[in-house]
Structure 1
């Protein structure tokens, strides 16, 4: 018997249940550490003295959905907590006093989406927030006093995509997306109100932009792919518009930039092609980067820092080690582990991830990540001894990318006996404007060809059994699943669509109102429904109109409150399949949005998915626990009989 078939099963609860802790941050004054942790099974913000994490106490007391995000205010007295309701993405921002526990809703509006726009050490008692209370389509920018909730308008939005705000809470620029997809940057003008400052051509618009990191001399940072393919980093003289190149990479766009918290001078930048790496720009951080790179903690990133920049909270993971958080003292050069996010996986049989670069049929390079069942490739790492059933995992966006590191879905599926392949298909971000724009008008065509080319590579390399391949993904990845299974009806043995659009025409007609300013980007990339050719393209590429071509089992998961991909997208696909007499399994969560945030629901859907894949690919499956489905909120609306 092969070693990988006897590898112990890793429980779904360990992989997809609440982490023990995550999201660590340090207060600006360095006195406290905060993190998210379960309280009665729900993720809440906890706070502890910096030197005594064992004394942590809950700062919030959410009882249902949990806190998705928080940030320290610069006064070191308040934590800014972001929440929505059942996944509707109408976020409220609450300021919680760490001394009294009192919470104030800084955005007390119903049906309004708010976002944190700026915190600044120059105004520690205030925060800048954008919200669409006045106009659902175009969010205004306001200053809010944290202690009182008093709100002052900074800028009403006449139709802009975004504003650039400096540390003094002044509006320095605004961005407008033009009908052709180009990006126009405006500056305030005393006479005209706004005046054009800079323009990025349509092909550069999604890989270029100004950062609101203004230095005392008025300069700021600029990313731009103008005149080149990958986005480079520049120092921009905001008075004259002159730009000086700081950093560039020929294979990938410049990623995160580490700046001095006071001067805003760029200290280092990251580049991620196959793996993420940091490059020092200033001797002040070169030793820090070298220390952290040599610490053996995996791929790392800066999560939080004190105002004096002495203490950093660093997050790190490796392909075979879930996320951990560390406190790094730059002066003493000491690294203290704060926690492991999933200590229950410390001795689990986690499998290695292998970066691979695959050639697409037209010569584009596809950066991919392959994970194989542990023990299946002992003779040749990255190549199994025999072809395996495979799951093709397609990322969402599509303006996003897969990365190297710990991936719970890769680990889960590899542990069940599947090869797992993730593909950065064209339109994925980070690989230059040519790669990104190669996806324009190619939903369900060249983007699908990239997936086919990666699958054929896996088959040709002896990795995948051609008769036992599944396709699975969420959001755009869900669309890709539906498109692939209707375009290539016999290529895949089964598919799993999570919150994926089935009808591009209705998708664009129902996008959230606050995406209005960026609608031109969708029209340029997917198809413009206001033109005859664009409408024809949308209909041609919509899987709902090709439902009768589907020939293999399909599982669909949907959140009823999804503001991006409405429930109707899954409903109409299911209805079209039923009308043709084609079996489909449909799971609808009434308290979820764009994805399944509550662990009970995520575990339930993955339990269903696991049985579905085992039935159609032949992999292993952990038995469904007595309460795994009942603890969730979802009925199986259609096709329960297809799970076995």
Structure 2
């Protein structure tokens, strides 16, 4: 049995609409869901239990207006709007303790090109009282509640680490840059403790050029991660001596056997880290703070994946670990949580169910995030005493799971024998001889995808296209060998992996070899252009948005823009991962889409953001100028206010509408 909160009673209205809508005839084909169903901003977007579990904080917009912060008292269903702005949206929020919350702000109505402000920081009690601004919002935003002289400048940002949640204090970070504006490299990052009631702020003493900080389970600063040139140093604040000491140092970009990543502190003070310990896959280990060594035996290790995840704890106990393999799952060390997970999974068999207990349990509620490849994340409360579920909200409320496509992880093999995983999404009821879009992820040195609902691939599948998303060499999450095999392989073996995965889909009878388009953003846009140049018989068209068009442009830049890639990465990381502009000059010329433009004759859709600082607009302009001389089938669009991707629903809807028409003309059903 299920109940719903009054503020989110949409089900009854939707059901009533269904009852009066004429049924489709047996032979009728239901219309595809509108583009906006996939790419609009959601009304409901986040929920968090208070430390005791007695209250639920929800970010929600009413009638597609500004996002506001709502608190629900679970015992009574009493609802209170505790924070909202007339011309801003509530963005990140978290509980300070059981009575107080902090939040920052954004403006979802404008793109990055028009955003000239910091997010600010505010605190409020769960009943809406005690509202206080802690950090200024720069720009033209006029505060409704006044700005005290004690508020911190706008270049202070909330630390999203919970800590003990037993005081009124939170931490903010304050980056210090080489330049006078946001374009300069970060020299170091200060950590500042702020009292959310008084606004009093105190800067933590740092041992070096700290770039990152880690709090312990009590909410105290315990680890500082410093970076000087290419060397990363990890410092530990010893609670006994109250002095910082160095516990590790290694190459920040190239890693190595001694490298590890601090993850979190357990309730007993144990430091948990990610390390491959000289093996192929990174695993979750404990770190011996006395010897300065990663303990050899892993706590959680996955056969086919690097460990990625987080700890789940209460005040004094380690309950389990959340991790990502193909999908997200939890290994519980606590027997009661194991039993609870089994109970919830039995009740919700069609979804992966992430059970989130409160950190200081004093009520019977847990928050469940349920999702699948067909269902966007849905938040539900489960009551341990009654065994009942209470629906909270879905992050894409207009999506009907029955209309969505299945997604699976397949294993392809590159021509040199390297296994290459790929995500395959197929339209409902269709598996053979389909038009196909090869969707290449950006990065490229990231994990591209995971099992779950994705707006891009589901939209394409709803229009009848198979979608193939290869995790080509260089993608992270699949082991050191797979990652390092992609170093200096832009346009070479990385590109071959994508082509070989495409040929696999043809050999399986999935893809119609005459109707395949390659598409992607950022590095995926680069791979789109190189795919059209290298494999003209394989790809009939391409869609490139915010794509790199020449590797040398990443290094040299342009007078009109400043890239957001740091100078240390361009000096110490990129030459090894991507290519050295001097030593590898011949290779970079041979793998430059800009210099290969004459070879591209297929239809191409190109889209860029005028405010993009990762791949500035001149990448697209230079390539468009080189291509249009000989290729009449080029479509070009610039979103003036956008950056590296589309932040505004109107632009997402416009772009994917263009994609739908473009694909329909070139590889759509004859």
TM value normalised by structure 1: 0.84
**SS class of match (2:330):** strand
**SS class of match (2:103):** strand
Aligned-pair RMSD on alpha carbons? 3.5
Q: Is 2:136 the counterpart of 1:86? A: no
Q: Distance in 2 between matches of 1:403 and 1:206?
A: 27
**SS class of match (1:228):** coil
Q: Which residue of structure 2 aligns with residue 633 of structure 1?
A: none
More off after superposition, 475-484 vs 507-516: 507-516
Q: Distance in 1 between matches of 2:199 and 2:594?
A: 47
C-alpha contact (below 8 Å) 1:485/1:492 kept by paired residues: yes
Distance apart, 1:83 and its partner CA: 3.0
Q: Is 2:443 the counterpart of 1:390? A: no
Q: Which residue of structure 2 aligns with residue 339 of structure 1?
A: 393
Distance apart, 1:481 and its partner CA: 1.4
Instruction: Tell me which of 491, 511, 518 is aligned to 1:471.
Output: 518
C-alpha contact (below 8 Å) 1:299/1:405 kept by paired residues: no
C-alpha contact (below 8 Å) 1:185/1:199 kept by paired residues: no
Instruction: Tell me which of 29, 34, 42 is aligned to 1:19.
Output: 42
Distance apart, 1:612 and its partner CA: 0.9
Question: Structure 1's 234 and 26: CA in aligned 2 closer, same or farther, altered over 3 A?
Answer: same
Q: Which residue of structure 2 aligns with residue 239 of structure 1?
A: 290
Task: Provide structure 1 residue ranges, at least 5 long, that are not aligned to the other structure.
Answer: 377-382, 621-644
Q: Distance in 2 between matches of 1:48 and 1:432?
A: 42
Q: Distance in 2 between matches of 1:316 and 1:594?
A: 30
Aligned residue runs from structure 1 range 293-308, under 5 A: 293-294=345-346, 295-302=348-355, 305-308=358-361
Q: Distance in 1 between matches of 2:86 and 2:490?
A: 39
Distance apart, 1:528 and its partner CA: 3.5
Q: Which residue of structure 2 aligns with residue 279 of structure 1?
A: 331
Distance apart, 1:322 and its partner CA: 2.4
Q: Is 2:133 the counterpart of 1:104? A: yes
Question: Structure 1's 527 and 49: CA in aligned 2 closer, same or farther, altered over 3 A?
Answer: same
C-alpha contact (below 8 Å) 1:44/1:58 kept by paired residues: no
**SS class of match (1:213):** strand
Distance apart, 1:606 and its partner CA: 0.9
Question: Structure 1's 566 and 292: CA in aligned 2 closer, same or farther, altered over 3 A?
Answer: farther
Cα offsets for 1:558-598 (capped at 9, x unmatched): 22222322222222222332355554222222222221121
Aligned residue runs from structure 1 range 210-221, under 5 A: 210-211=261-262, 213-215=264-266, 217-221=268-272
Q: Is 2:373 the counterpart of 1:324? A: no
Question: Structure 1's 291 and 553: CA in aligned 2 closer, same or farther, altered over 3 A?
Answer: same
C-alpha contact (below 8 Å) 2:639/2:651 kept by paired residues: yes
Q: Is 2:454 the counterpart of 1:370? A: no
Task: Provide structure 2 residue ranges, at least 5 long, that are not aligned to the other structure.
Answer: 1-25, 140-153, 179-183
C-alpha contact (below 8 Å) 2:356/2:367 kept by paired residues: yes
Question: Structure 1's 18 and 163: CA in aligned 2 closer, same or farther, altered over 3 A?
Answer: closer
Cα offsets for 1:202-242 (capped at 9, x unmatched): 66469963435224654210110022111111122223224
Question: Structure 1's 574 and 307: CA in aligned 2 closer, same or farther, altered over 3 A?
Answer: farther
Question: Structure 1's 254 and 291: CA in aligned 2 closer, same or farther, altered over 3 A?
Answer: farther
C-alpha contact (below 8 Å) 1:267/1:284 kept by paired residues: no
Q: Distance in 1 between matches of 2:318 and 2:90?
A: 33
Q: Is 2:234 the counterpart of 1:185? A: yes
**SS class of match (2:519):** strand
Question: Structure 1's 188 and 207: CA in aligned 2 closer, same or farther, altered over 3 A?
Answer: closer
Distance apart, 1:319 and its partner CA: 1.9
Q: Runs of 4 or more off by more than 6 Å in structure 1?
A: 189-193
C-alpha contact (below 8 Å) 1:207/1:432 kept by paired residues: no
Q: Which residue of structure 2 aligns with residue 354 of structure 1?
A: 408
C-alpha contact (below 8 Å) 2:93/2:104 kept by paired residues: yes
Q: Distance in 2 between matches of 1:4 and 1:607?
A: 27
Cα offsets for 1:370-427 (capped at 9, x unmatched): 2222222xxxxxx32xx11101111222212211122222222122121111121122
Q: Distance in 1 between matches of 2:548 and 2:156?
A: 22
- The count of corresponding residues between Structure 1 and Structure 2 is 605
C-alpha contact (below 8 Å) 2:273/2:284 kept by paired residues: yes
Aligned residue runs from structure 1 range 146-295, under 5 A: 146-155=196-205, 158-167=208-217, 170-176=220-226, 183-187=232-236, 195-199=246-250, 204=255, 209-211=260-262, 213-215=264-266, 217-242=268-293, 243=295, 244-263=297-316, 265=318, 267-272=320-325, 274-294=326-346, 295=348
Q: Which residue of structure 1 aligns with residue 94 of structure 2?
A: 71
Aligned residue runs from structure 1 range 34-53, under 5 A: 34-39=57-62, 41-42=64-65, 44-51=67-74
